Amino acid sequence: MGIETVISDEVLEQRIRVAGLKPTRQRLGLGRLLFNGISRHVTADELFGEAVNTGVPVSLATVYNTLRQFVDAGLLREVLAGPGRSYFDTDISHHHHFYHVDENRLEDLPIGVVSVESLPQPPTGSEIERVDVVIRLRRQ
Amino acid sequence: MGIETVISDEVLEQRIRVAGLKPTRQRLGLGRLLFNGISRHVTADELFGEAVNTGVPVSLATVYNTLRQFVDAGLLREVLAGPGRSYFDTDISHHHHFYHVDENRLEDLPIGVVSVESLPQPPTGSEIERVDVVIRLRRQ
DNA sequence: TTTTTAATTTAGAATAGTTCTAATCCATTG
DNA sequence: CAATGGATTAGAACTATTCTAAATTAAAAA
Ligand SMILES: [Mn+2]
Ligand SMILES: [Mn+2]
Ligand SMILES: [Zn+2]
Ligand SMILES: [Zn+2]
Q: For strand C, give the nucleotides within 7 A of a protein CB.
A: 7-12, 16-21, 26-28
With respect to residue A45, please indicate whether it lies within any of the assigned structural domains: yes
Looking at per-residue confidence, does A103 or B67 come out higher? B67
The whole-angstrom separation of Cα A17 and Cα A11 is: 10
The whole-angstrom separation of Cα A46 and Cα A52 is: 10
Looking at residues B72-89, what average pLDDT do you find?
93
- Collect all residues of chain B within an 8 Å Cβ-Cβ radius of residue A118: 113-115
Looking at residues A75-100, what average pLDDT do you find?
93
| Per-residue pLDDT at B16 | 96
Percent share of chain A, pLDDT over 70: 96
What's CA B129's distance to the chain center, in Å? 17
| Per-residue pLDDT at A2 | 44
| Per-residue pLDDT at B25 | 97
Query: What Å distances lie between residue A138 and A13, A34, A103, A106, CA to CA?
Result: 40, 27, 9, 12
Percent share of chain B, pLDDT over 90: 76
H or E segment to which residue A31 belongs: helix A25-34
Query: What Å distances lie between residue B95 and A3, A15, A100, B63, B90, CA to CA?
Result: 42, 41, 21, 25, 12
Looking at residues B82-91, what average pLDDT do you find?
92
- Collect all residues of chain A within an 8 Å Cβ-Cβ radius of residue B126: 98, 100, 137-140
| Per-residue pLDDT at B5 | 65
Domain extent at residue B35: 9-137
With respect to residue B2, please indicate whether it lies within any of the assigned structural domains: no
**Lowest mean pLDDT, pick from A5-19, A118-132, B103-117, B125-139:** B103-117
φ, ψ (nearest 5 deg) of residue B51? -60, -50
Residue B43, Cβ density class (10 Å: 0-12 exposed, 13-18 middle, ≥19 buried): middle
The structure's pTM equals 0.90
- Domain holding B39: CATH number? 1.10.10.10
The answer to whether strand C lies under 7 Å from the CB of residue B78 is: no
DSSP 8-state assignment for residue A91:
-
The per-residue pLDDT for range A17-74, each reduced to its tens digit, is 999 999 999 999 999 999 988 899 999 999 999 999 999 999 999 999 999 999 999 9
Give the three-state DSSP class for B97: strand
Spell out the long-range contacts of A78-85 with Cβ–Cβ below 8 A and sequence spacing 24 or more: A79/A41, A79/A106, A79/A132, A80/A132, A80/B80, A80/B81, A80/B82, A80/B83, A81/A106, A81/A134, A81/B80, A82/B80, A83/B80, A83/B84, A83/B85, A83/B86, A84/B83, A84/B84, A85/A43, A85/A44, A85/B83
Domain count, chain B: 1
Q: Do B133 and A135 touch (CB under 8 A)?
A: no
With respect to residue A86, please indicate whether it lies within any of the assigned structural domains: yes
The whole-angstrom separation of Cα A16 and Cα B81 is: 30
Looking at residues B92-100, what average pLDDT do you find?
94
Q: Which residue is nearest to nucleotide C25 (CA to C1')?
A: B24
With respect to residue B129, please indicate whether it lies within any of the assigned structural domains: yes
| Per-residue pLDDT at A22 | 97
At B37, is the pLDDT very low, low, confident or very high (cuts 50, 70, 90)?
confident
With respect to residue A71, please indicate whether it lies within any of the assigned structural domains: yes
| Per-residue pLDDT at A118 | 77
With respect to residue B54, please indicate whether it lies within any of the assigned structural domains: yes
What's CA B31's distance to the chain center, in Å? 11
At B78, is the pLDDT very low, low, confident or very high (cuts 50, 70, 90)?
very high
The answer to whether strand D lies under 7 Å from the CB of residue A105 is: no
Looking at residues A113-117, what average pLDDT do you find?
79
Res B10 pLDDT > 50: yes
With respect to residue B14, please indicate whether it lies within any of the assigned structural domains: yes
The residue type at B129: E
B87 neighbors B41 (Cβ within 8 angstroms): yes
Res B1 pLDDT > 60: no
With respect to residue A3, please indicate whether it lies within any of the assigned structural domains: no
Q: Assign residue B29 a region (left: φ > 0; alpha: ψ between -120 and 50; beta: otherwise).
A: alpha
Looking at per-residue confidence, does B9 or B67 come out higher? B67
B68 neighbors B40 (Cβ within 8 angstroms): no
| Per-residue pLDDT at B4 | 55
| Per-residue pLDDT at A108 | 94
